Structure formats: structure tokens, C-alpha cells
Amino acid sequence: MSVQTAKQVYNFNKLQKRLRRHVGEAIADFNMIEEGDKVMVCLSGGKDSYALLDILRNLQAHAPIRFDIVAVNLDQKQPGFPAHVLPAYLDELGVDYKIVEEDTYSIVKDKIPEGKTTCSLCSRLRRGILYRTATELGATKIALGHHRDDILETLLLNMFYGGTLKSMPPKLVSDDGKHVVIRPLAYCKEKDLVRYAEARAFPIIPCNLCGSQENLQRQAIKTMLQDWDKRFPGRIESMFRSLQNLVPSHLLDHRLFDFKGVDRDSGVIDGGDIAFDKPEVAPRFSVEDDDEPVAEPGERLQIIELK
């Protein structure tokens, strides 16, 4: 084995271990998968859902609890969709799966005027079909392949355009009230998933066969976050960490914190108010090569908690 190959193998093992650890931690933190669950993994043919299936199968083999996995792909009949790719891949894996064929493409083309964005109707239709399929298969959880960067992009989109501080939930009941949806990749970085998909040579199918333009606002935010990640190492980790560290007394939602009830007897809450002084914001994260954030001196305890 050449030195180069040995290094590649070492790097891949490190990457795989990190992804498995992040998925394992997310599952544990949010109690995503329980004994006896039947987890329906939604497989689009994109890198994230391939990685999700791959890592969940790996964890399944080593988990102390027993759960089943069924992969589901929705063939939406977009022109050029390579319908043979996923069945061939899943047959080779030997995983239980179902391909659902529904011509949502024609419905979308019929309903949305030429030149308008098609993704929202397309994904709404897809959601309904996947919920129905989960019921038919007796799935107790629906697993989606959204990752850390999807969560941050959604947070910023909601702040910029929706006026809410909200992102994608790691685990929640679906909008039809019937299913529990989980996002086991919630702690995984997109760049890790890109490298993993390359190394595992997943047969990727693009989600733009229909010719629809990508969501431009989301794309702009993704580019901005990627730029920050290059120029300010640790910023993205810190942003993500902030989602796990809310301080309602220092925000402005009076439904979350009883500001009206505050009086001199309330005591000092969350560090109290520091009047005219600006809050000190010491950098808490730096990044060693492209791996894990490492602690600044004196920050070891907090960093250990970082996912």
C-alpha cells in the first residue's frame, strides 16, 4: 500500500468515525430512535440521504437497541430521472426498500406557470406522498437527510425573510400530526458529507432534472456561510452552538420570559443587565485543520459539550 493510499484510508476512517459520532450524539440527545422503531429513510439520490442511510445502517449493526430501516425513494417522473440507479444500489446493499412512483412532475408543470419557481409545490406533494407511504409501511419514524448547514441556512432565512427565530427541528411531529420526523444528520457538517459521498462513490442523482432554478435566497445564504467559514474559522461552529444555548431573558420574546414580572426581588438572572457596557464576546472557537473545533485556553469545559 502506498503512503498516499494509507493516508487516504486514515483520513476516510477519521471522517467516518466523526460522522458516526455526530449521528450517534444527535440520536441520543433528542431520543430520535428507540427500541423496536421502524425508521423510514427518505432517499432522494442526493449525497446527504445516501450518507444518512449508510451511517444509520452502520449504527444499526452496532447499536445496543434493535430497530429496522426501510429506504424509500419517490420517483417523481422528472424527465431524465435514472430510475434504475437507486434500485440497483439498494439491491446490492441488501436493504429493505420501496420505490414509490407518482407523476408529480406533470402536476407541477400543469399548475405552475412557466418561469415560476416549482420547488415549493413539488416538495409539498412529495411530503404528502412520503407521509402516506410511512403509514402504509408502518414506519414509526421518518428520517430526513438535513444537516447542520441546512439548519443554519434555514435559521438565517427565517430571520431575514420570516421574522422568526426558528430553524429545522431535530425531531418533531409532522404537520399532518401523524408521524415523528427526525434529522439524524443535524450535527454533521455539509463539507464532511461531501467528502464522505466522494469517498464512498455514491451514485448521486441531481435534484434539478426538472430544470427548476434552485432557491436563490437559500443559495445566497449558503454562499455567505461558506465564505464566513473560510475567512472566520470557528464562526459557523459558534453559530450552531448558539442554537443549543438560548438565553430568553436576553432576547425580546415576552412569551418566553416573564419580563413583566421582573422586579428588584427577582435577583440576578443569567448574568443580569450590564447597563451601558457592551457584552463581552470573547472568541470561543477555533478550528484545527478542517476537523473539530478546539478549545481556547480556559474554554475546555464548554468545548467538550460541543457537538
CB of 250 to ligand SF4, least distance (A): 38
CB of 262 to ligand SF4, least distance (A): 47
Is residue 119 annotated as involved in ligand binding?
yes
CB of 208 to ligand SF4, least distance (A): 5
- Residue choice 41, 86, 186, 210 for contact with ligand SF4 (CB under 6 A): 210
Cell numbers 467528502 label which residue? 195
109 or 195: CB nearest ligand SF4: 109
16 or 104: CB nearest ligand SF4: 104
33 or 108: CB nearest ligand SF4: 108
Helix axes 235-242, 148-157, angle to 10 degrees: 70
Is residue 122 annotated as involved in ligand binding?
yes
- C-alpha dist (Å) from residue 242 to 30, 122, 128, 214, 236: 17, 32, 32, 28, 10
CB of 106 to ligand SF4, least distance (A): 12
> Per-residue string for binding with ligand SF4, 117-146, x by CB under 6 A?
-xx--xx-----------------------
Within 225-284, which residues bind ligand SF4 (CB under 6 A)? none
**Buried-exposed string 168-190: b where 16+ CB fall within 10 A, e elsewhere:** bebbeeeeeeebbbbbbbbbbbb
CB of 125 to ligand SF4, least distance (A): 9
Within 39-98, which residues bind ligand SF4 (CB under 6 A)? 78
Q: Is residue 107 close enough to count as binding ligand SF4 by CB under 6 A?
A: no
Residues that bind ligand SF4 (rule: CB under 6 A) add up to a total of: 9
Mapping DSSP onto H, E and C, the string for 215-243 reads CHHHHHHHHHHHHHHHHCCCHHHHHHHHC
Return the C-alpha cell found at 58. Answer: 452502520
Q: Is residue 100 close enough to count as binding ligand SF4 by CB under 6 A?
A: no
Residues 6+ apart with CB under 8 A from 92: none
Q: Is residue 31 close enough to count as binding ligand SF4 by CB under 6 A?
A: no
- Residue choice 129, 137, 199, 207 for contact with ligand SF4 (CB under 6 A): 207
127 or 191: CB nearest ligand SF4: 127
Is residue 210 annotated as involved in ligand binding?
yes
Cell numbers 408521524 label which residue? 179
Stretch that binds ligand SF4, among 116-124, 168-176, 273-281, 291-299 (CB under 6 A): 116-124
Round to the nearest angstrom and report the end-to-end CA distance of the chain.
Answer: 34
Q: Is residue 286 close enough to count as binding ligand SF4 by CB under 6 A?
A: no
Annotated binding site, which residues? 119, 122, 210
Annotated binding site for [4Fe-4S] cluster, which residues? 119, 122, 210
| Interface residue list for ligand SF4 (CB under 6 A) | 78, 118-119, 122-123, 207-208, 210, 212
